[in-house]
Amino acid sequence: MPDNQNPNDNQNFANEKELAADVSSNKVKFEIYGEEMIEKRVKSSGNSGRVYLPPNWVGHKVKIIRTD
């Protein structure tokens, strides 16, 4: 075994494969860090969708993840 290989890597890989098998094939897992979270439903707006956020979020970066 190479010096830089962790002996737990194979076990970690097996655990990841088991976890992946539990998740539907069209879903992915995201792990993110942030300050606040809001769950909302997207409303129709012309040919697009819209989500209203609090005014104190203006100018901050956000990440949108579709969950269903």
**Can you give the residue range of the structural domain that contains 45?**
9-57
Let me know: does 42 contact 49? Beta carbons within 8 Å. yes
- pLDDT number for residue 27: 86
- pLDDT number for residue 3: 56
- Taking only the tens place, the pLDDT of each residue in 21-39 is 555 568 899 999 999 999 9
Rounded Cα gap, residues 40 and 53, in angstroms: 9
Higher-scoring residue by pLDDT: 26, 5: 26
Instruction: Judge whether 67 lies within some domain.
Output: no
- Taking only the tens place, the pLDDT of each residue in 48-60 is 999 999 999 999 9
Overall domain count for the chain: 1
Give the HSE-up count for residue 55: Cα atoms under 13 Å, Cβ half-sphere. 0
Instruction: Judge whether 63 lies within some domain.
Output: no
- pLDDT number for residue 40: 96
